[in-house]
A and B are shown apart, each in its own frame.
Chain A
Amino acid sequence: MDNIAGQKSSLSLVTNIAVLLIVIAWLIPTVGLFVSSFRDRDQIAASGWWVAPFSVELTYRTRADATPTEQGNLFVIEGNIFESEEVRESFEDGESSIAAFGLRGREPGAFEAGTEAENRDGGTIQVNADGTYVYTSPEPIDGAPRVYFVAETPPEFTLDNYRTVLTADNMDRAFINTLTVTIPATIIPILIAAFAAYALAWMDFPGRGLLIAAVVGLLVVPLQLALVPLLNLHNQLGIGQSFVGIWLAHTGFGLPLAIYLLRNYMVGLPRDIIESAKVDGATDFQIFTKIILPLSFPALASFAIFQFLWTWNDLLVAKVFLPSAGDAAVMTVKIADDLLGSRGGDWGILATAAFVSIAVPLLVFFTMQRYLVRGLLAGSVK
């Protein structure tokens, strides 16, 4: 619109760069999570995810386990450190570069690679950058001596975190629980709301305006108010903290938005169609099921997406209406209460768990984005 009057906007380049910067800023946190979820635990601890494609210097512990030989009055072990048993797996091609080495766990990088270090018993040890080492001792060598070294390690991306999260931490169960909570809690309110929305949009009865105003008002009622009285009610009814309880709760909490969105959409449907159907003798029920419902598909879809995202991502309702201990935890509760406590420092696992929990909503979001946007607009812009 800026160049309608014939002048090419000089701001075009600036705009492009600005938007690019904004998008990058918006993506960086998520990318960090995504990259970290594929990284090896030691690598996460050693370098930031932004340098994940590059080698990191990691510390290793191994033994000089080549066969000792006797040379003059010295006992000598010669070999390549990368071939020693304990680290062989990490260096499959047997090559890397060593930055430093040491003899004690407290200072694993005490000596630079290529220098000769003196051992306590008067012997020496030298580890070169290419991994070859010479260990000498004036006395017979009894068992393979310990060596620590710091080596450039190639970047390593694994699915191990995913395996751990999906098998070890009961996360698979939580995933299924989340699905179990989400699907009924999405479908049932749609049905109830659709009928109510039709009544509020196209049927004439006293008190209609008042009811619509009530629905608009209820949109705003904070969820927190409902927690205590409803939990008590559920306990009295014998539902207690259970899946049934959380389905009912989500249904109740989702209804105002559902009715509001659907009514706004249905009111906009062409009056002629409905009136000619009535003239032809269709009952309200037939008009609703045969005309209104099919025509309202976009609005139904957009509310379904909203409700799905909302119930999937919910933490508060699940914390209150599902039992806190045991097998019923959903993923958000699992992450917020269990994982952050027990694995607070294990960033790889945390990142993976978070990514598993946001994968489904993201998928829904990117495939159904059109409907989501349409629903948002139906709700907010007149």
Chain B
Amino acid sequence: MSPVIQGIITIIIGVGGCVGYFYFANLFIDKVLFPARGENAGRNINRANMIRPWVFLFPAMFALGLYLMYPVVGSFFRSLYDRSGDEFVGLGNYARLFNNPDFRQAFLNNILWALVVPAGATFLGLVIAQLTDRLRWGNIAKSLVFMPMAISFVGASLIWRFVYAQDGDIGIINAIRFYFGAEEGIDPLQIPFWNNFLLMIILIWIQTGFAMVILSAALRGIPEETVEAAIIDGANPFQVFFKIKVPQIMGTIVVVWTTITILVLKVFDIVYTMTGGNFGTEILPSFMMDFMFRDDGQATAVAFVIMLVVLPVMIWNIAQARKEMR
């Protein structure tokens, strides 16, 4: 039971420490450092107000700096050294990666994932959001489609093993094939190239709910007049959907698309659990895990390649956020 006690102590120390830090730091500024009384009261209040934001921000900035900013730099430098970390090899690790056919395969697969999954999830999410919009039991339907969001990628992979299994008494796909007279079971996850898509289906299954929830809210936000006007002008439901509604929520569609793209670039659980990267299904994050604990130089090089792939999205995100703030 010791980890439980350890956990409880951590909660107490962590929470108590945080609360204590904020409370006493604040008290310290007000009472000791710049007390709001005496002859300098006015100037002291101003000074205290200049420092206070940084007191509030410090723990978060420290954690962000240590756990997210430092690794970007640290990983890059580590990727310039060899396996043991002693010898400087420049871009040698990257050169080795690009000469490795497995890496090229993983890279191409990753690009495929980043294109297919966001497209599939956003499209399905949009269609389901529109279909359920006016349905009496629409909310139940939505909540059921949304449900996989709560399931871990590992759990989802196991769930889908019951679809893909080779045994016709376990896997639905083979059961259907047998029903239509197939002689022998196949392992769908070993079909070259197409097995990638079978794995992507799992992530699409998980992410469609996310896209649906957000796009459904966006659809509700469309001014009714535009839709009414289109209907009076004789537009059919498809025209209303594609020519009136979709253009108006384009901004949200892009946000959903990029959010899922970022997620896709980080996911490794599904490939790891379903195929372990075999049969030509390797992607960059699972490829990196092959080197983890063995060759830190190459592992960090792969991580940095992932970072480079994400970079455009990051820049776009920041630009977007800055635009909104103005």
Contacts and interface: CB of A to CB of B under 8 A. Distances in A.
Does A associate with B in a complex?
Answer: yes
B170 A252 contact: no
B306 interface: yes
A255 interface: yes
A280 B11 CA distance: 35
Q: Which of A2, A28, A243, A249 has the most CB of B within 10 A?
A: A2
B36 to A, nearest CB: 9
A36 interface: yes
A128 interface: no
Interface residues of B, number: 117
A95 interface: no
Interface in B125-153: 128, 131-135, 138, 141, 143-153
A203 B52 contact: yes
Interface in A1-47: 1-2, 4-5, 9, 11, 15-16, 18-19, 22-23, 26-30, 32-33, 36, 44-47
A224 interface: yes
Interface string B64-101: 10111111101100100000000000000000000000
A177 interface: yes
Interface residues of A, number: 119
Q: Tell me the interface secondary structure of chain B in the complex.
A: helix
A306 to B, nearest CB: 10
B56 A49 contact: no
Given A188-B18, A336-B273, A369 B143 contact: yes
Given A50-B175, A213-B322, A205 B292 contact: no
A228 B303 contact: yes
Contacts of B68: 218, 221, 226, 252-253, 255-256
Interface stretch (B111-119, B184-192, B310-318): B310-318
Given A29-B162, A376-B214, A15 B52 contact: no
Interface of B: 1, 3-4, 6-7, 10-11, 14-15, 18-19, 22-23, 26, 30, 49-50, 52-54, 56-57, 59-61, 63-64, 66-72, 74-75, 78, 128, 131-135, 138, 141, 143-155, 158-163, 165, 168-170, 172, 175, 205, 208, 210, 213-214, 217-218, 221, 224, 227-228, 231-232, 237, 240, 252, 255-256, 259, 262, 265-266, 268-269, 272-273, 285, 288-289, 292, 296, 299-300, 302-304, 306-307, 310, 313-314, 317-318, 321-322, 324-325
13 contacts: A2-B231, A26-B145, A30-B148, A30-B159, A33-B162, A49-B170, A180-B6, A228-B300, A229-B78, A247-B14, A253-B67, A316-B289, A340-B273
